């Protein structure tokens, strides 16, 4: 068929066209008739191509849409919105017309591609309900109240979504496709706007939206495929698997924090592409037009992620780092506003990682919240990561258990399970009060060796050795945990910012990462790597 379509099949078939009706073939074939000829050839009607040539009906006029009850009339809906035209196929039988309408979709599968003029902007496709998607495999892997997640393999001839220079290996044709369901709690428009900001930021630790499409009145988002999220990574991996795991972890910490900073505050111009209208997303409705259309060429906007948790951080292989890279995903709860603070009622958070002010019943429901919400959640994830570094996944289970039973043992007016704070009645005033759980402070003290003892579930001996013997490691861990405990997982009152901003967290972690890299050349006794070990009770195999 390829030879007929691309090797002269159309010119050969035009020979059957009556001479008195022969069109100016050289001009009309410039429009492109390969798909139409392929459809007709598939149906065994390739000799009917001349009817389309006479009518000037080319590939860009597909699909053919049946109109009314008269099956012999088809309306052509040009893809480029040219004036509607009609073509009469009086000599076609009803069965031929039905098959023509049905079979055309076999040859109209979309090709998802990047915008060559703006590779960081995801293209949006509006697909007919009859469109056959170019998926060679498609399976649902997760479902929530607001969305479904599918694993899809797209035929390589129908996409060029991934950077060819990246080492995706066997996953280069695998993608995650998120079906978004509109609801009272989530707005697909907010998610798309946030993803536009993410794509514009082009940050390596933020997931990129590759393309989106609508079909059957539903929105679908296409992302790169990842084999596991951070929670699964903790379950499947051991911190002892790689001798530079601490340096890698701090590099990921710094990357995630800087990625968050990139979207928390964003400056855009009035002519920026994120403001452009599209078939899927309208213009920012909550921005004052005077802010973007007047003499001021830039406006500052704010984006809060809204649901940072290990399940929303994915691990990807990375050509520049054998240990891979972590990326923040799922902007379904994101808010994009012209003001940093938003109404508390619009917050959607996973209970474990939500900050205490989201629950504080002493605050009015209309109280405002800011991007510092994300800092609390990120601090919780970082602390869990540190527990995993010391104690593996069993340590995380122990830490969760401690927080759960602490919540049960308190005079709580609302049980919050394994959240990192507790809600209880003040014994003096009787008023409801929120505070960071004691088990959070205890685990930080235990990890730095200042507590009464480490969690009793088989902690990493090499980590304990480093803390007990090498003062530089002890100081590094102390500073990391102090950053988390005193600048991220702390209470905030309305109007008072106590938590660090994301860019400040990133700067602090950048220094910690540098310190860890300097220590990688030392063994657990502080000697240059490779120096002969003397008799010692410590394990010299684990080196940094």
Is residue 83 domain-shared with residue 163, that is, in the same domain?
no
Q: Is the pLDDT of residue 9 over 70?
A: no
Q: Which helix (H) or strand (E) holds 64?
A: strand 64-66
Residue 262: the pLDDT is 95
Residue 534: the pLDDT is 37
For residue 352, being part of any structural domain is answered with yes
Is residue 259 domain-shared with residue 167, that is, in the same domain?
yes
Is residue 99 domain-shared with residue 158, that is, in the same domain?
no
For residue 339, being part of any structural domain is answered with yes
pLDDT cut 90: percent of the chain above it: 37
Interstrand relation of 135-143 and 123-126 (parallel, antiparallel or unpaired)? unpaired
Residue 101: the pLDDT is 87
Is residue 82 domain-shared with residue 207, that is, in the same domain?
no
Q: How many whole angstroms separate alpha carbon 120 and alpha carbon 74?
A: 39
Residue 295: the pLDDT is 40
Interstrand relation of 421-425 and 412-414 (parallel, antiparallel or unpaired)? antiparallel
Q: Is the pLDDT of residue 110 over 90?
A: yes
Q: What is the CATH number of the domain that holds 376?
A: 1.10.510.10
Residue 535: the pLDDT is 35
Q: How many whole angstroms separate alpha carbon 49 and alpha carbon 15?
A: 10
Is residue 142 domain-shared with residue 99, that is, in the same domain?
no
Residue 536: the pLDDT is 30
CB 231 within 8 A of CB 310: yes
Residue 243: the pLDDT is 72
Residue 83: the pLDDT is 46
Omega before 42 cis (within 30°)?
no
Is residue 27 domain-shared with residue 147, that is, in the same domain?
no
Section 227-250 average pLDDT: 88
Residue scoring higher pLDDT (431 or 385): 385
Residues 6 or more apart from 378 whose CB is under 8 A from it?
256, 257, 260, 308, 488, 502, 505
Burial state string for 479-494 with b = 16 or more CB within 10 A and e = fewer than 16: ebbebbbebbbbbbee
Q: Which helix (H) or strand (E) holds 6?
A: helix 2-6
Residue-by-residue DSSP string for 96-129: HHHHHHHHGGGG----B---TT-TTS-EEEE--T
Residue 424: the pLDDT is 78
Name beta bridge partners: 371. none
Is residue 165 domain-shared with residue 60, that is, in the same domain?
no
On the CB side of 118, CA atoms within 13 Å amount to 11
Residue scoring higher pLDDT (275 or 536): 275
pLDDT band at 239 (very low <50, low <70, confident <90, very high): confident
Is residue 379 domain-shared with residue 421, that is, in the same domain?
yes
Residue 287: the pLDDT is 41
Residue finishing a domain among 107, 141, 176: 107
Q: Provide the Cα torsion 241, 247, 253, 258; round to 10°.
A: -140
Q: How many whole angstroms separate alpha carbon 333 and alpha carbon 307?
A: 6
Q: Is the pLDDT of residue 152 over 70?
A: yes
pLDDT band at 365 (very low <50, low <70, confident <90, very high): low
Range of 260-269, 356-365, 401-410, 415-424 with top mean pLDDT: 260-269
Range of the domain at 22: 2-107
CB 370 within 8 A of CB 341: yes
Q: How many whole angstroms separate alpha carbon 207 and alpha carbon 439?
A: 33
Pick the range with the lowest mean pLDDT from 28-37, 70-79, 108-117, 481-490: 70-79
Residues 6 or more apart from 201 whose CB is under 8 A from it?
259, 262, 263, 266
Residue scoring higher pLDDT (407 or 332): 332
Residue 432: the pLDDT is 75
Q: How many whole angstroms separate alpha carbon 33 and alpha carbon 57?
A: 8
For residue 338, being part of any structural domain is answered with yes
Cα 375 to Cα 95, 352, 439, 491, distances in angstroms: 63, 14, 20, 11
pLDDT band at 413 (very low <50, low <70, confident <90, very high): low
Is residue 432 domain-shared with residue 344, that is, in the same domain?
yes
Residue 342: the pLDDT is 57
Section 491-503 average pLDDT: 87
For residue 424, being part of any structural domain is answered with yes
Residue scoring higher pLDDT (106 or 87): 106
Is residue 395 domain-shared with residue 447, that is, in the same domain?
yes
Burial state string for 269-284 with b = 16 or more CB within 10 A and e = fewer than 16: eeebebbeeeeebeeb
For residue 14, being part of any structural domain is answered with yes
Q: Is the pLDDT of residue 34 over 80?
A: yes
Pick the range with the lowest mean pLDDT from 17-31, 135-149, 379-393, 470-484: 17-31
Q: Is the pLDDT of residue 538 over 50?
A: no
> CA 446, 449, 454, 459 torsion: positive or negative?
positive
For residue 532, being part of any structural domain is answered with no
Task: Write the burial class of residue 151 (CB in 10 Å: 0-12 exposed, 13-18 middle, 19+ buried).
Answer: middle
pLDDT cut 70: percent of the chain above it: 67
For residue 122, being part of any structural domain is answered with no
- Please give the tally of structural domains in the chain: 2
For residue 116, being part of any structural domain is answered with no
Is residue 92 domain-shared with residue 145, that is, in the same domain?
no
Residue 368: the pLDDT is 59
Q: How many whole angstroms separate alpha carbon 224 and alpha carbon 527?
A: 43
Residue scoring higher pLDDT (306 or 384): 384
Is residue 61 domain-shared with residue 180, that is, in the same domain?
no
Residue 533: the pLDDT is 37
On the CB side of 505, CA atoms within 13 Å amount to 36
CB 224 within 8 A of CB 316: yes
Q: Is the pLDDT of residue 479 over 90?
A: yes
Section 422-437 average pLDDT: 80
Q: Is the pLDDT of residue 59 over 60?
A: yes
């Amino acid at each position: 068929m390829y030879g007929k379509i691309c090797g002269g099949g159309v010119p050969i078939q035009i020979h059957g066209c009556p001479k008195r009706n022969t069109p100016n073939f050289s001009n009309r074939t410039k429009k492109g008739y390969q798909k139409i000829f392929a459809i007709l050839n598939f149906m065994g009607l390739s000799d009917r191509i001349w009817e389309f040539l006479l009518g000037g009906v080319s590939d860009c006029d597909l699909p053919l849409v049946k109109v009314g009850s008269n099956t012999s009339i088809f309306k052509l809906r040009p893809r480029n919105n040219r004036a509607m035209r009609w073509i009469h196929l009086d000599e076609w039988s009803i069965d031929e017309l039905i098959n023509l309408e049905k079979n055309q979709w076999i040859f109209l599968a979309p090709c998802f591609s990047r915008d060559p003029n703006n590779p960081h902007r995801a293209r949006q496709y509006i697909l007919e309900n009859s469109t056959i998607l170019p998926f060679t495999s498609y399976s649902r892997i997760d479902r929530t109240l607001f969305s479904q997640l599918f694993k899809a393999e797209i035929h390589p001839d129908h996409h060029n979504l991934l950077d060819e220079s990246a080492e995706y290996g066997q996953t280069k044709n695998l993608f995650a496709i998120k079906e978004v369901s509109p609801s009272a709690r989530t707005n697909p428009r907010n998610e798309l706007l946030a993803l536009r900001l993410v794509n514009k930021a082009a940050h390596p630790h933020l997931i990129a939206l590759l393309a989106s499409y609508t079909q059957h009145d539903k929105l679908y988002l296409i992302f790169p495929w990842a084999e596991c999220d951070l929670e699964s990574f903790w379950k499947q991996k051991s911190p002892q698997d790689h001798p530079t795991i601490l340096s890698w972890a701090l590099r990921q910490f710094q990357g995630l924090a800087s990625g968050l900073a990139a979207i928390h505050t964003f400056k855009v111009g009035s002519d920026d592409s994120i403001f452009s209208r599209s078939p899927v997303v309208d213009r920012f409705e909550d921005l004052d037009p005077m802010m973007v259309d007047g003499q001021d060429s830039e406006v500052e906007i704010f984006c809060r992620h809204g649901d940072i948790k290990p399940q929303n951080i994915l691990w990807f292989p990375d050509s520049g780092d054998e240990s891979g890279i972590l990326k923040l995903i799922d902007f379904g709860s994101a808010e994009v506003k012209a003001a940093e603070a938003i109404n508390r009622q619009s917050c959607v958070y996973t209970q474990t990682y939500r900050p205490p002010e989201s629950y504080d019943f002493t605050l009015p429901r209309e109280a405002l919240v800011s991007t510092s919400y994300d800092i609390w959640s990120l601090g919780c994830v970082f602390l869990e990561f540190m527990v995993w570094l010391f104690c593996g996944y069993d340590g995380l289970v122990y830490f969760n258990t401690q927080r759960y039973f602490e919540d049960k043992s308190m005079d709580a007016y609302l049980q919050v399970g394994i959240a990192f704070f507790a809600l209880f009645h003040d014994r003096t005033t009787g008023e409801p009060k929120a505070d960071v759980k004691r088990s959070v402070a205890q685990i930080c003290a235990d990890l730095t060796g200042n507590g009464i003892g480490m969690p009793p579930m088989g902690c990493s001996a090499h980590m304990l050795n480093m803390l007990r013997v090498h003062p530089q490691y002890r100081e590094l861990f102390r500073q990391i945990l102090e950053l988390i405990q005193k600048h991220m997982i702390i209470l905030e009152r309305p109007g008072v910012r106590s938590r660090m901003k994301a860019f400040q967290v990133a700067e602090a972690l950048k220094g910690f990462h540098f310190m860890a890299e300097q220590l990688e050349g030392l063994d657990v006794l502080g000697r240059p790597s490779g120096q002969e070990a003397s008799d010692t009770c410590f394990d010299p195999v684990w080196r940094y």
